[in-house]
Structure 1
Amino acid sequence: MWTSAPDTVDSQRPKILRVYNIYRVVLGFFLTLLTSSALRDGLIDLRNADLYESLSWIYLIVNVLIALLLHQGKKDIHLFVLAAVDIFLLSMLFYAAGGAASGLGNLLIIPVASGNILLHGRIGLLLAALASMALIYLTFFLSLSDPALNQNYLQVGVLGCIYFAVALFVQRLSRRLRHSESLAQQHAASLASLEKLNQVIIQRMRTGIMVLNNNHQVLLANEAAAQMLGKAVIRGMEVDRLAPELGQRLRQWQINPSIRGLPFRNHVGGVEIMASFKRLPEEDNESTLVFLDDNTVVAQQAQQLKLASLGRLTASIAHEIRNPLSAISHAAQLLAESPSFQDQDRRLTDIIQQHSRRMNRVIETVLELSRRRQSDPQLLDLTLWLAHFVRDYELANPSTDIIECEFEKEGILTRMDPNQLNQVLTNLCQNAFRYSGEPGSPRTIWLKLYEDRESGLPILEVIDHGPGIDDRNIPQVFEPFFTTESTGTGLGLYISRELCESNQARLEYRRLEPRGSCMRIVFAHPKRLV
């Protein structure tokens, strides 16, 4: 039964067969040289020179034709026939040269060994059997005409044993090589699979990863790094061209690795990035592994801790201030109801009542902030949500307040708590109307929704054309208790920014020219982790 050799052997068959063909052609060439009496004197004593000459030329011509026509042996039957023909022709040359004394019997070791490399199992042993039987038969045939050759049977028998020993040794060695090659291929496949898995994991990681060479050129970068930097990362790109701030922090780290760099933004509206570095020593040069982390998550955790501390503080303030404040307000009210109270003193009680109410609003606002629940981000279609918000806001407020909406396109998505977004936008709209004109007069503000061209993040702008915020007050506009109004609490924008940051969004202020203000919400990506 003819069977195919394993794939590991099949892959090497063309190379082995090519070497075997070259060997036979070279051997045929040297055998034909022995047809010259001048060249063979002292080397070999031919029994039948004419037969040897004919067979040597036949052997050379056949092997040249095989080398030219049979480049690849893909079937075992072809390889077996090739080895059998080689054994037959070499056996006939063995007979023409005079038998075992000529030494040509040793030439059959190569076709037996080659056949057992290309074939396996009992097929290879059959070649050894054919070679042994051919020599024994031809030696017997020679001994009939020359009884002195009977002593060659021992030598021929030893050659037969050598053929079988070579066949068994080569088969054993081939099996080991095939097994080793099979294990190597399995390990290579496992490593390739593991490498693909690692690449998928690296590409899916939320942490940005980059590898830079010693010239600060990008060798590798995952998808998260490109998203954070807001640019396509191309292999070979210099880091200063990709992110100048990152290049600056890399040079600072190389000078003093113990210094932790400050976070940075690579583009307007981008996330706040914290970079860390690690050297990767190699033989020729040193590469640098760069980790890019979204500092928004860290800031959000710090924000939660800050709010928790503020909550405990405000609870204490409520108990310590609210009751005395209520008593002061109640005493001023009773004092104003006294019949002997003078009109000029009544103005003083009104001031007490007014400031008591203001202090009470401050306490209630701070308590509301401390009791605020954790954010519950949901996937929102901002276009639809904003349309509903405008409708509800206009129904609940004076008809003189008008909101104009501008949408870049439909289906702009983000992930945010809808209740907290409603609280933020209500506060921003109230502030915008307050600075757009006096209550009761026609007032208009604009809401503009679009996606940033570089980062793809959704952006909502609340625009008014009032006097705007003074340049000196812009750095403090989001500070708690900062206000330019005598009746304000100074907590509205602070709470709005805190709510945005707890949803991984950002609230920014921009001055408009020649006048006006723009409160800008940069929302989180809809695919961000909740």
Structure 2
Amino acid sequence: MSDQADSQRPRILRLYNLYRVVLGFCLALLTNTAARDGLLQLSNPQLYEIASWIYLLVNVLIAVLLHRGRRDLHLFLVSVLDIFLLGIIFYAAGGPGSGFGNLLLIPVAIGNILLHGRIGLLLAALASLAIIYLTFYLTLSYPGVSQGYLQVGVLGCIYFAVAMFVQRLSRRLRQSESLAQQQAASLASLEKVNQLIIHRMRTGIIVVGTHNKVLQANEAAAQMLGKPIIRGMNIEELAIGLAQRLRQWEETPSIRAMPFHNHSGGTEIMANFKPLATDSEETVLIFLDDNTQIAQQAQQLKLASLGRLTASIAHEIRNPLGAISHAAQLLGESGELPAADHRLTEIIQQHSKRMNKVIETVLELSRRRPSEPQLVDLGLWLEQFVADFSAGSPQEDRLELDIAGPGIQTRVDPYQLSQVLDNLCRNALRYTDTASPYKTIWLRLYLQADSELPTLEVIDHGPGIAEEHVPHIFEPFYTTHASGTGLGLYISRELCESNQARLEFEPMLPRGCCMRITFAHPKRLL
């Protein structure tokens, strides 16, 4: 028997035991002469009384002791015993005319539900033989009793018909149940796959029900919002910015929501909404996308266009600039040139070198290779960077390293990170306090408490940046230094964005600057 039938067998057996106990109780009641007066004419009242009480006691014991029996042998013996005792009661009640032969239909039917194949048909054969033999023996013992061989023969045929019908019906039910269970298993497996896909998606997904309660969310949504998502929590508890954009969408669905930051240093998130109508409640499906990735793609297109343009312009400028510089150099070597004109040639040389440096920087920007991120232990990498930087810098330039703990990792291109940090450190040393004989800057590495994002700060205690210059420091070609190109911080931010990191400026009090790099989570795929 299949597992599905086995699961239903205890329930059917309990009902069968209950039926036999109730039947035995009813048969025992008919042992009372007053109760059966006018209802039943017994051929052997004494035998009927003994058989009825035995039938009741036996079935009570079976119901108590064998209510959990699942073996085919136990079930077969119970059915045979039932047929045997009901056959004796059939004989004592007067044979075919009493109608007790119909009571054998139930054990035959139940036996063919619980037992299949030939063993089920054997029960029908035993029941048929029992009533035929008892009818024949009854006519010999009591010649006055009417012969009901035809009725008994028809009843025996009914036993076999019931056995075959029940077997066919139970077989179909088992097949249907097996198919239903297979389909349920397939649906459960498909649901698990869907859940796995949803939880592994890089797009954050949140399902919001009535009263803005969170019904479901995936892992990417929790990472973007920077906090665990608990089923049933209000959307305002999760993200106030997201709740505001949800209300805005409900009022005017045609207006595209603006991106938002859920916490300081968090990723810039773009939210999109889709209504879902279900039978139980109105739900909203929220898609969260990391806007830095979209900005990164746009930036790549912008840089590609800028690279083609600057490469052609730089080529056209570089040759005339070289001729101007060479001519100024020859002119400065002339002995007949006045001192004032010598100063003019030096100015020409100085600005030619500056322009050439700008051209080289622009060409480097246009030829920049794509980032190749890899998992990096920032603590170990910084120790190596500080050693290499100090070896190539003057002795008065010092880098102090402060690492909050071991094992701080992120996914970043080490070569591009080295470019960014080298540029930030040299800028910090250039503008740091010159009153001390040593110029010191601090590198501080830690994990943000709320989002657990790796963060690196480059800190100096120089004069700082004037407030009017702060909004423009990351713009290309913007500089306050006479010999600067205005591309250092711009390129540094571009390199950070290509690695899904953010470069931000924060003033230090009472003086100084802090350049903060917030890296991507190490589990995020770039």
TM-score class, shorter: over 0.9
Task: State the match for 2:510 in structure 1.
Answer: 514
Q: CA deviation at 1:438?
A: 4.7
CA distance in 2, matches of 1:147, 1:398: 133
1:114 maps to what in 2?
Answer: 110
TM-superposed CA distance for 1:149, in Å, is 4.7
CA deviation profile, 1:244-289 (whole Å, cap 9, x unmatched):
1111111112222222212222122222222222222111211222
Distance 1:61 1:502 in 2: 85
Superposed CA RMSD: 1.9
Q: Which residue of 381, 390, 396 corresponds with 1:394?
A: 390
Separation in structure 2 between the aligned mates of residue 189 and residue 120 of structure 1, nearest angstrom: 26
Give the letter aligned to residue 325 of structure 2. Answer: S
Give the equivalent residue in structure 1 for 2:54: 58
Q: Deviations over 1:423-452 (max 9, x none)?
A: 111111111011114599521111111222
Q: Secondary structure at the match of 2:40?
A: coil
Corresponding residue for 1:332?
328
SS of equivalent to 2:515: strand
CA distance in 1, matches of 2:392, 2:29: 114
Matched, 1:72 2:68: yes
1:325–1:356 CA contact under 8 A, matched in 2: yes
> Letter of the aligned partner of 1:103 in structure 2?
G
What stretches of structure 2 of length at least 5 have no aligned partner? none
Aligned equivalent of 2:491: 495
In structure 1, the residue matched to 2:473 is: 477
Counterpart of 1:18 in structure 2 is 14
> In structure 1, what residue type is equivalent to 2:92?
A
Equivalent residue, structure 1, for 2:454? 458
Opposite residue 453 of structure 2, the aligned amino acid is L
1:420 pairs with one of 416, 419, 433? 416
| 1:442 and 2:442 are equivalent in the alignment | no
Q: Name the counterpart of 1:429.
A: 425
Q: Which moved more, 1:512-521 or 1:368-377?
A: 368-377
Give the alignment of 1:88-237 within 5 angstroms.
Answer: 88-147=84-143, 149=145, 151-237=147-233
Partners of 2:408 and 2:454 within 8 A in 1: yes
Match of 2:338 among 339, 342, 353: 342
Is 1:289 the counterpart of 2:295? The answer is no
Paired amino acid for 1:311: G
Indicate yes or no: 2:251 matched with 1:255.
yes
Q: 1:68 to 1:387 in 2, by over 3 A?
A: closer
Do the aligned residues in 2 keep the contact of 1:203 with 1:224 (CA within 8 Å)? yes
CA contact (8 A) 1:400 1:440 kept: no
Distance 1:258 1:13 in 2: 59
Equivalent in the alignment of 1:246: 242
For residues 440 and 240 of structure 1, do their structure 2 counterparts lie closer, same or farther at Cα, with a shift above 3 Å needed? closer
* Residue identity matched to 2:491: I
Which of 370, 373, 385 matches 1:374? 370
Deviations 1:79-108 (A, max 9, x none): 111111111111111111111111111111
Q: How far off its partner does 1:358 sit?
A: 1.8
Contact 1:448–1:460 at 8 Å: present in 2 too?
Answer: yes
Asked whether the 8 Å contact 1:139–1:149 carries over to 2, the reply is no
The answer for the alignment partner of 2:464 in structure 1 is 468
Report SS of the residue matched to 1:293: strand
Paired AA for residue 482 in structure 1 = Y
Distance in 1 between residues matched to 2:367 and 2:63, nearest whole Å: 90
Structure 1: which amino acid aligns with 2:523? K
- Whether the 8 Å contact between 1:13 and 1:73 is mirrored in structure 2 is no
Alpha-carbon shift at residue 301 of structure 1 (Å): 1.3
Classify the secondary structure of the residue corresponding to 2:370: coil
> How far 1:338 sits from its partner (Å)?
4.3
Q: Secondary structure at the match of 1:261?
A: coil
Secondary structure of 2:415's counterpart equals helix
Find the counterpart in structure 1 of residue 274 from structure 2. 278
Moved more, 56-65 or 510-519: 56-65
- Residues 6-45 of structure 1 correspond to what in structure 2 (within 5 A)? 6-45=2-41
SS at 2:162 equivalent: helix
2: distance between equivalents of 1:133 and 1:209? 70
**How big is the shift at 1:310?**
0.8
Amino acid at match of 2:521: H
Cα distance in structure 2, aligned partners of 1:526 and 1:370: 29
Structure 2 counterpart SS, 1:12: helix
Q: Does 1:384 align with 2:399?
A: no
2:226–2:450 Cα contact (<8 Å) kept: yes
- What is the letter of the counterpart of residue 225 of structure 1? A
Query: Bigger shift: 218-227 or 108-117?
Result: 218-227
The alpha carbon displacement at 1:461 in A equals 0.8
Equivalent residue letter for 2:93:
A
User: Using a 3 Å threshold, how does the CA distance of structure 1 residues 16 and 130 change in structure 2: closer, same or farther?
Assistant: same
Q: TM-score, normalised by structure 1?
A: 0.95
For 1:82, the equivalent position in structure 2 comes to 78
Partner amino acid, structure 2, of 1:232:
P
Gaps of 5+ in 1: none
Displacement of 1:21: 1.6
Q: Which moved more, 1:89-98 or 1:56-65?
A: 56-65
Can you list the C-alpha shifts for 1:310-342, whole angstroms capped at 9, x where unaligned? 101101211332223233333333444444433
Q: Cα deviation per residue 1:105-142 (whole Å; 9 max; x = unaligned)?
A: 11111111111111111111111111111111111111
State the Cα distance separating 1:164 from its structure 2 match: 0.7
How big is each residue's C-alpha offset from its partner over 1:31-88, in whole Å with a ceiling of 9 and x where there is no partner? 2333344433433222222322232222222222322333222111111111111111
**Letter of the structure 1 residue corresponding to residue 324 of structure 2:** I
- One-letter amino acid matched to 2:116: H
CA apart distance, 1:307: 0.9
Number of positions where the alignment pairs a residue of Structure 1 with one of Structure 2: 526
Query: Residue type of the partner of 2:474?
Result: F
Counterpart selection for 1:299 from 295, 300, 305: 295
CA contact (8 A) 1:273 1:292 kept: yes
Whole-Å separation in 2 of the counterparts to 1:412 and 1:24: 73
Query: Does the CA contact (< 8 Å) of 1:21 and 1:67 recur in 2?
Result: yes
Cα offset, 1:379, TM superposition: 2.4
User: 2:379, 2:407 → 1: CA distance?
Assistant: 6
CA contact (8 A) 1:277 1:288 kept: yes
Could you tell me how far apart the structure 2 residues matched to 1:379 and 1:32 are?
A: 84
Per-residue deviation at 1:227? 1.2
